[in-house]
Structure 1
């Protein structure tokens, strides 16, 4: 106990009354997408994870993680600019750069850390090179890590309506006379809505207004684009791409990929790279294996997208709101916090694990269940999910 605990307890009570309190649930992974929730030993089919291709249990990832650990130990021992850079870091970075069709890449401990520390370094460049603050144009529904990176830099965001390139263009025109480097910051697949950005349109606008395009490809990499390279690798592309290994690639960590010059600049200026202990050999081994496997999984990607299309159609037919989803991320937008929590509990009673996503993760009055399909969900599991969601639609109608 501390003398501040009463304040914490009151704040937690306030969250509970608003239906916004979160708790951790300990899960024990089983075969495929099945998990056991440890608090009640209940077996659930997990439709909430980001393991889109099922690689988290792939034998090659586990084998290479073990081999690289045996070779050099469990830790990198230091940050990258001290003595923590191993030949394995270089190998994986070169492979990432080839995968994303960029000149160079850098590894980071997590996607959050990459976004939160790369953006301030980029924006600082504007002040140093032009003497003026960066002009930062951001999609309103960007991930919290992107908003945090802007806040950490002290950058005022000029926010455009979600995926509205007409609005973005109007804002760029409005600020055209302002000095300072221009940055457009967005995701390619939005993690809570499952819809996609128009990469070709964004690239054209960035070129028109001489803006730097920064693209978060965390949820696109592995499942979209040629060989799963994401939405930007085979287009005109972004100036800098961020992505993660913790979703379709099945392990952990993140990367940025771009020109050699921008990567060299970040080595010298990005706090998240400079001051973090380097990623351990085990994760590097899993990353390396994932980069070998993902380009070969076209069949799994095709089937996964077919499953998602089928499920969206079934849900829309019974009146469930799936938003603008066009990917394996399928939101079921309910609105009220308490009603969304009831819906998640209803599905759990039907042995389906989904998570109630509530503000501030999503905008107010847009609480939802977030369904995430994976390549390891079989037809029987999908039928069970669909049947349960049809029952949920009826349940929600009775709650009105």
Structure 2
């Protein structure tokens, strides 16, 4: 372990955990210093420290007691699933403990050794781990390369189950999956489509149903996965789809069957946060406006923002050393911006990943952009 850690240090890939205490209006206390928080996934600036009216946290409790299939299925969980399914426009919803647990449980439940999975090369690590656990043949296609995906689908063995898996928004790039085209391909070749809406849930469509809903593809995507830990500012995950899917996963998804259920108090907080997010139309619009201006300013200054199209804006710097230097200098200036390095991103594409929040003021973002551009040029 010592040798491997030293190797990580030499390659500028060593990581450590730093205390962070969120503050109002998009700020954070990090390592004792107040910083503008440009690293959080709480895109709408939600505060999860609440309980829903009629679903008081104190009475709900912090212990679920067991897995959902034993004694851990609190009525709050059933209520949230039923109401959230109607919100998503699906027959059913299944609540799980985290996005990671959802992906490593659902993918192996749907496909196995004799089947094929088709995965975008930039999919999240939890998707890739779910694929490994499934033991299915994995065919990765270049990012958003539909021609390569179609060529792979054509070569799939006859009789194999085929599952296409993609993020809706790619968390390190801010690029958006071509969902309409993916739906057409899965229909053409008899595949299932699973879409991870972790970074689009709460942010797209009239009430935040997500990117799938905004594109009117709800009835054409078999497996919708999402989390409550990003825009909703809480914790937990869900799978939305038809009633058969829920019944099947309840019997086959090991990360549901063999883990303790979410605490009822957490489910209560999720419920209240979701109810609040539905009405945040102005925040959703403001987030996209601020992100567009932030991205445009960096591009005009000559920086590489990758394929960003949304509230996630990477500053691609290349080397690990450069990314760490820029991150350190930004934090010295009062900006929480973390260096993202391999294996999280491909070799040679280390970056600073900026995550904007609707609650960032225009003045704070302007202040931050001036420092980002100056430091980026100094280290460029």
Please tell me whether the aligned partners of residues 64 and 282 of structure 1 are also in contact (alpha carbons under 8 angstroms). no
In structure 2, what is the equivalent of residue 20 of structure 1? Answer: 13
| Counterpart selection for 2:191 from 211, 215, 225 | 211
In structure 2, what is the equivalent of residue 274 of structure 1? Answer: 257
User: CA 1:300/1:46 → structure 2, altered by over 3 Å: closer, same or farther?
Assistant: same
| Counterpart selection for 1:389 from 348, 355, 372 | 372
Distance 2:363 2:141 in 1: 42
SS at match of 1:162: coil
- What displacement does 1:9 show? 1.6
- What displacement does 1:280 show? 0.6
User: CA 1:67/1:179 → structure 2, altered by over 3 Å: closer, same or farther?
Assistant: closer
Matched, 1:54 2:54: no
- Point out where structure 2 has 5 or more consecutive residues left out of the alignment: none
Question: What are the superposed Cα offsets for residues 181-220 of structure 1, whole Å, 9 maximum, x if unpaired?
Answer: 1110001000000010111111111111111000000000
SS at match of 2:325: helix
User: CA 1:62/1:338 → structure 2, altered by over 3 Å: closer, same or farther?
Assistant: same
- What displacement does 1:392 show? 2.1
- What displacement does 1:169 show? 1.1
Distance 1:334 1:371 in 2: 13
| Counterpart selection for 1:230 from 199, 202, 210 | 210
Question: What are the superposed Cα offsets for residues 77-134 of structure 1, whole Å, 9 maximum, x if unpaired?
Answer: 111111111110001111221222111011111100100111000114xx7xxxxx11
Distance 1:29 1:246 in 2: 14
SS at match of 1:204: helix
Question: What are the superposed Cα offsets for residues 42-65 of structure 1, whole Å, 9 maximum, x if unpaired?
Answer: 1111100000011125xxx51339
- What displacement does 1:236 show? 2.2
| Counterpart selection for 2:154 from 170, 173, 180 | 173
| Counterpart selection for 1:263 from 246, 253, 257 | 246
Matched, 1:43 2:24: no
User: CA 1:393/1:70 → structure 2, altered by over 3 Å: closer, same or farther?
Assistant: closer
- What displacement does 1:67 show? 4.8
In structure 2, what is the equivalent of residue 69 of structure 1? Answer: 57
Larger displacement relative to structure 2 (143-152 or 197-206):
197-206
In structure 2, what is the equivalent of residue 103 of structure 1? Answer: 91
SS at match of 1:242: strand
SS at match of 1:36: strand
In structure 2, what is the equivalent of residue 5 of structure 1? Answer: none
Distance 1:110 1:253 in 2: 4
Distance 1:264 1:186 in 2: 23
Distance 1:272 1:167 in 2: 32
Matched, 1:144 2:125: yes
Matched, 1:155 2:136: yes
In structure 2, what is the equivalent of residue 114 of structure 1? Answer: 102
SS at match of 2:50: helix
Larger displacement relative to structure 2 (271-280 or 29-38):
29-38
Distance 1:364 1:253 in 2: 31
SS at match of 2:139: strand
Number of residue pairs matched by the alignment: 377
TM-score normalised by the chain length of structure 1: 0.91
User: CA 1:318/1:48 → structure 2, altered by over 3 Å: closer, same or farther?
Assistant: same
- What displacement does 1:29 show? 2.1
Question: What are the superposed Cα offsets for residues 278-329 of structure 1, whole Å, 9 maximum, x if unpaired?
Answer: 1111111111112212221111111110111111110001111001101100
- What displacement does 1:333 show? 0.5
In structure 1, what is the equivalent of residue 328 of structure 2? Answer: 345
Question: What are the superposed Cα offsets for residues 230-282 of structure 1, whole Å, 9 maximum, x if unpaired?
Answer: 11124223100110000000001111111100110000111011111111111
In structure 1, what is the equivalent of residue 25 of structure 2? Answer: 32
In structure 2, what is the equivalent of residue 356 of structure 1? Answer: 339
